[in-house]
């Protein structure tokens, strides 16, 4: 929390995106008994995987176990997780007319299982470990709602966006209003900070990002309590950094495609940064991993306000020992700076 406010810390804090996931035996054990959606919707199980990941790894923050997409259910989408193909939407939006059937989440009670998990986690989590909530940013959620799943070129999403800007804006507005209620409720239930994942927005040019995305993301961030740090994360396109900063967030999450030093100069040192080791570097031998971790730390130049993380989520076949080794290295090298 101190790093998020750019206050000095004893060492560089670290957490790992997707830290509670399939690479951990503790996660697989719980997951073997239920489907992924059940796991998301059973607060005691979601709490257990959140807490065990934090404990096993020794990271400086816990992230709520949940997913980006279940918010789409009360908005009228049929969501499924296929055993190997990831999420899939049975009734994606394709025409401008389809936008009319999307419902705003006015009653966050429909996502009550998330807030119950937050309360359970907060009861058990050590007091000095913050709990991070999260949600998908409007663009990334819209891209799933429109494409129906993952996508390479986001053709349907961009078509709708370019073809009918007012329908696009109406859709973004539904996400903005729903997300503000959802994230506020996570904070009220006990999250100390929240991360907004705009994982797929890197497919846009800076001009399109500014026109079609920035104002909407900004409205979400501006509506959240000013004293709660928001980590604003996107991947795939360092050319968006300045605009990402303008959209808001007290911490800017950057991926590995840009040097952290350059990224921090671009966004300005009056904001904190999170990142940015290439997740694939975790497959390297210890010596290489150590060098790479040190390079990231050196790019931060010992400035207060750096939260170490991967540039994107940890991969499902990672050896948990490599992740633990990285965490120890960052704490050790970070404390000597
Ligand atoms: O970071 C954490 O540990 C918290 C939990 C978390 C999950 N998903 C758990 C999960 C978080 C923060 C997410 C975010 C998420 N979900 C994103 C943004 C991710 C990013 O890194 O930018 C996206 C795009 C989703 C949607 C989603 N959920 C996808 C694409 C998939 C399939 C992924 C795959 O690799 O197969 C999921 C499923 C999912 N979400 C799993 C987990 C642990 C694996 C599900 C399983 O157990 O089968």
46-60, 78-92, 119-133, 304-318: segment of lowest average pLDDT: 78-92
Predicted local confidence at residue 217, as pLDDT: 98
> pLDDT tens across 274-287, in order?
999 999 999 999 99
> pLDDT tens across 235-251, in order?
999 999 999 999 999 99
Contact call for residues 59 and 16 (beta carbons, < 8 A)? yes
Instruction: Quickly list DSSP for 39-70.
Output: HHH-HHHHHHHHHHHHHHHT-S-EE----SSG
Q: What's the pTM value of the predicted model, to 2 decimals?
A: 0.97
Q: Is 67 considered catalytic here?
A: yes
Predicted local confidence at residue 320, as pLDDT: 98
CA angle 319-19-219, nearest 5°?
Answer: 150
Q: Taking residues 311-315, what's their average pLDDT?
A: 98
Take residue 70 and report the two structure tokens written for it.
């279940």
Predicted local confidence at residue 84, as pLDDT: 83
336 falls in which pLDDT band (50, 70, 90)?
confident
The residue whose CB lies within 8 Å of the most ligand 1 atoms, and thus the one to mutate among 14, 15, 18, 196, is 18
Contact call for residues 292 and 286 (beta carbons, < 8 A)? no
Residue 209: C-alpha distances to residues 161, 220, 288 (Å): 11, 15, 36
Contact call for residues 87 and 69 (beta carbons, < 8 A)? yes
Annotated catalytic residue, options 10, 28, 42, 144: 144
CA of 67 to the centre of ligand 1 (A): 6
Contact call for residues 108 and 182 (beta carbons, < 8 A)? yes
Predicted local confidence at residue 337, as pLDDT: 72
Contact call for residues 154 and 200 (beta carbons, < 8 A)? yes
Of all protein residues, the one whose alpha carbon is nearest to atom 26 of ligand 1 is 68
Determine the atom of ligand 1 nearest the C-alpha atom of 134.
Answer: 12
Give buried/exposed letters for 20-47 (b at 16+ CB in 10 A, else e): bbebbebbeebbeeeebbebbbbbebbb
The C-alpha R_g of the chain, in whole angstroms, comes to 19
Q: Taking residues 54-77, what's their average pLDDT?
A: 98
Predicted local confidence at residue 256, as pLDDT: 98
Predicted local confidence at residue 58, as pLDDT: 98
**3 state DSSP class of 329:** helix
Of all protein residues, the one whose alpha carbon is nearest to atom 20 of ligand 1 is 199
Take residue 294 and report the two structure tokens written for it.
């040190």
Pocket of ligand 1 (CB under 6 A): 17-22, 31, 36, 63, 65, 67-69, 86-87, 134, 150, 197, 199, 312-313, 316
Average pLDDT of the residues of the chain:
97
> pLDDT tens across 169-191, in order?
999 999 999 999 999 999 999 99
Contact call for residues 118 and 133 (beta carbons, < 8 A)? yes
Phi, psi of 307 (to 5 degrees): -105, 120
> pLDDT tens across 189-221, in order?
999 999 999 999 999 999 999 999 999 999 999
Q: Taking residues 249-278, what's their average pLDDT?
A: 98
85 falls in which pLDDT band (50, 70, 90)?
confident
Q: Taking residues 15-43, what's their average pLDDT?
A: 97
Q: Taking residues 40-52, what's their average pLDDT?
A: 98
**3 state DSSP class of 125:** coil
- Asked whether residue 14 carries a pLDDT value surpassing 90, the answer given is yes
Q: Helices (DSSP H) in the chain: which residue ranges? A: 25-31, 36-41, 43-57, 112-124, 138-147, 155-163, 165-189, 206-212, 214-223, 241-247, 260-267, 286-299, 320-335
């Amino acid at each position: 929390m101190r790093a998020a406010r750019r206050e000095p810390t004893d060492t560089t804090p670290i957490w790992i995106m997707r830290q509670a996931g399939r690479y951990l035996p503790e996660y697989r054990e719980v997951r073997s008994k239920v489907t992924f959606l059940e796991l998301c919707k059973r607060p005691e199980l979601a709490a257990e995987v959140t807490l065990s990941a934090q404990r096993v790894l020794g990271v400086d923050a816990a992230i709520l176990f949940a997913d980006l997409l279940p918010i789409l259910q009360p908005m009228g989408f049929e969501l499924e997780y296929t055993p190997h193909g990831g999420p899939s939407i049975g009734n994606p939006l394709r025409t401008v007319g389809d936008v009319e059937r999307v419902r705003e989440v006015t009653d966050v009670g429909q996502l009550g299982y998330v807030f119950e998990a937050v309360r359970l986690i907060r009861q058990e989590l050590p007091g000095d470990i913050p709990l991070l909530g999260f949600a998908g940013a409007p663009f990334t959620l819209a891209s799933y709602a429109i494409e129906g799943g993952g996508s390479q070129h986001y053709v349907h999403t961009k078509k709708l966006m370019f073809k009918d800007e007012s329908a696009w804006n109406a859709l973004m507005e539904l996400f903005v209003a729903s997300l503000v209620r959802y994230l506020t409720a996570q904070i009220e239930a006990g999250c100390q900070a929240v991360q907004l994942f705009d994982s797929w927005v890197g497919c846009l040019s800076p001009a399109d990002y500014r026109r079609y995305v920035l104002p909407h993301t900004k409205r979400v961030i501006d509506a959240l309590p000013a004293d709660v740090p928001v980590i604003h994360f996107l991947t795939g396109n360092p050319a968006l950094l300045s605009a990402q900063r303008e959209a808001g967030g007290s911490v800017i999450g950057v991926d590995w495609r840009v040097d952290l030093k350059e990224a921090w100069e671009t966004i300005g040192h009056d904001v904190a940064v999170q990142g940015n080791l290439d997740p694939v570097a975790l497959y390297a031998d210890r010596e290489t991993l150590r060098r790479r971790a040190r390079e990231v730390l050196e790019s931060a130049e010992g400035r207060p306000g750096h939260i170490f993380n991967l540039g994107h989520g940890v991969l499902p076949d990672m050896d948990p020992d490599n992740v633990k080794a990285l965490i120890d290295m960052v704490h050790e090298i970070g404390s000597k700076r």
